[in-house]
Amino acid sequence: MISMSEAVDAILSSAGVLETAEVELDSAYNSVLAEDVESDIDIPPFTKSAMDGYALKALLTMDVPVILRAGPIVAAGETYECRPAGSGEQADDDAECIKIMTGAPVPEGLESVVKVEDTEPLPDGRVKFFDKTTAGQNICYRGEDVRKGDVVLEKGTRIRGPEIAALASVGKFRPRVYKKPAVGIISTGRELVEPSVQPGEGKIRNSNGPMLTSLAASLGCESEYFGIADDDEDVLRRFIQKGFQKDVLLLSGGVSMGDYDLVPDVLKNEGAEILFHKVSIKPGKPLLFAKKDKCCIFGVPGNPVSNFTTFYAFVKPAIYKMMGREDHELDFIDGFLTQDFENSSGRLYLAPSKCSIIDARYHVTPHLLSGSADITGCTKSNCLLMIEKGPFKIKKGEKAKILLLGD
């Protein structure tokens, strides 16, 4: 039996970053960039107004109040060229200002925008200005945010909503990303029925399959639930052979020491290398990790709480690494207990808990579960509380390590 840190190290050493691919922008969410992204244009691509107002030469407001003749309205997406006297065309008045909308190009030669609420339109079409303006007021200059050729997103960046917008802005409509792991999920045990079935005598509903499928999908994986494998070697073998086609295979149950815990032997017989079996943690002691070619295989204990805790503590870091995420290492932070808590076992305790931020500190309340099958007690959990192997007691107000379960 190995320690939690040894188990995590073994998993991360075996889990490799997946190959890269170009994807459509609307499919890139939750992926990780596999290359630096440069802008193909200046941003903004032209000098534009930051406000609804009037564009003018700043020197015309040297003596205020001043009344100026207003030219046409320039809206976003339109252009307007100022025509000085003597150009051979109908000239604009030297004292002209133009009404301009937010995002519209500022005509060349005009250097300031006065907010519309700081002016007074007059009945004859002229506009009264009350305050002096300065060059550059309420103007966004071409390239002031990004210059053509600038790196706007670096390799290793996780793509979320703002990153999607940035990619679109610089014309990167097919970014190169690390592939998302394909995850297969198999539940084992002849006592299981699917959630839609009313369980008969001696049967229970399969909660682990839907939970693991959903958790994998929430990380951005392509998750596929294969179904329930009966406690029969031939049946289990057929399920596992399908699972080997995935990047990650999650087997729920069948890894303890009972007569029908067949997963370890079937994996060995199918050529998988078992890297460890049993970890000194509670819950989740029977955890198994194996490799078959490029497939990372997790045999997670069948008890729902064990399923829950081992997914976050062991499976999630592996998936993150395979996705190219740089934040794949477990990050335990300090929390302060709201009540006494004792670990009487000789193993590291990972207790599903609820934490909240009060006065800039995490305050942690461990859930008092009736056992490792009490998944309903985890429904409000947003962290795992780590308590050293016992006998060990930590008192209310004392500091302990927690692992946040959010993304």
pLDDT of 91: 44
Q: What is the pLDDT of residues 297-333, one digit of tens each?
A: 999 999 999 999 999 999 999 999 999 999 999 999 9
- Shared domain for 32 and 167, answered yes or no, is yes
Q: What proportion of the chain, given as a percentage, has pLDDT over 90?
A: 87
pLDDT of 257: 75
Gap between the Cα atoms of 405 and 91, Å rounded? 67
Gap between the Cα atoms of 263 and 375, Å rounded? 23
Those residues whose C-beta lies under 8 Å from the C-beta of residue 325, and which sit 6 or more positions away, are 32, 156, 158
- Shared domain for 67 and 132, answered yes or no, is yes
Instruction: State the CATH number of the domain containing residue 64.
Output: 2.170.190.11
Does residue 407 register a pLDDT over 60? yes
Those residues whose C-beta lies under 8 Å from the C-beta of residue 26, and which sit 6 or more positions away, are none
Gap between the Cα atoms of 255 and 287, Å rounded? 7
pLDDT of 131: 96
Is residue 87 classed exposed, middle or buried when 0-12, 13-18 and 19+ CB atoms within 10 A define those classes? exposed
Query: How many domains would you assign to the chain?
Result: 4
- Shared domain for 101 and 188, answered yes or no, is no
Gap between the Cα atoms of 31 and 14, Å rounded? 21
Gap between the Cα atoms of 347 and 3, Å rounded? 9
Domain boundary among 274, 302, 323: 323
Those residues whose C-beta lies under 8 Å from the C-beta of residue 296, and which sit 6 or more positions away, are 11, 14, 15, 247, 248, 249, 289, 318, 322
- Shared domain for 277 and 293, answered yes or no, is yes
Nearest to 302 by CA among 266, 262, 252: 252
Supply φ then ψ for residue 186, to 5 degrees: -125, 125
Gap between the Cα atoms of 209 and 252, Å rounded? 7
- Shared domain for 79 and 204, answered yes or no, is no
Q: What is the mean pLDDT of residues 356-363?
A: 96
- pTM, two decimals, is 0.86
Instruction: For residue 358, give its domain range.
Output: 332-404
Q: What is the pLDDT of residues 235-282, one digit of tens each?
A: 999 999 999 999 999 999 989 877 768 999 999 999 999 999 999 999
- Shared domain for 84 and 206, answered yes or no, is no
Sorting pLDDT into bands at 50, 70 and 90, what band is 124? very high
Mean per-residue pLDDT over the chain, rounded: 93
Question: Token pair of 272, please?
Answer: 């998988």
Q: What is the pLDDT of residues 181-228, one digit of tens each?
A: 999 999 999 999 999 999 999 999 999 999 999 999 999 999 999 999
Q: Measured at the alpha carbon of residue 233, what is the angle toward residues 229 and 234, in degrees to the nearest 5?
A: 85
pLDDT of 328: 95
Does residue 113 register a pLDDT over 50? yes
Return the percent helix, strand and coil in the chain, to nearest 5: 20, 35, 45
For residue 98, the Cα-to-chain-centroid distance in whole angstroms is 45
Contact 212, 302 (CB under 8 A): no
Does residue 88 register a pLDDT over 70? no
Q: What is the mean pLDDT of residues 107-126?
A: 95
Pairing assessment for the beta strands 332-337 and 248-252 based on DSSP bridges: unpaired
Sorting pLDDT into bands at 50, 70 and 90, what band is 335? very high
Question: Token pair of 5, please?
Answer: 């840190």
- Shared domain for 198 and 275, answered yes or no, is yes
Instruction: State the CATH number of the domain containing residue 378.
Output: 2.40.340.10
Q: What is the pLDDT of residues 9-44, one digit of tens each?
A: 999 999 999 999 999 999 999 999 999 999 999 999
- Shared domain for 351 and 361, answered yes or no, is yes
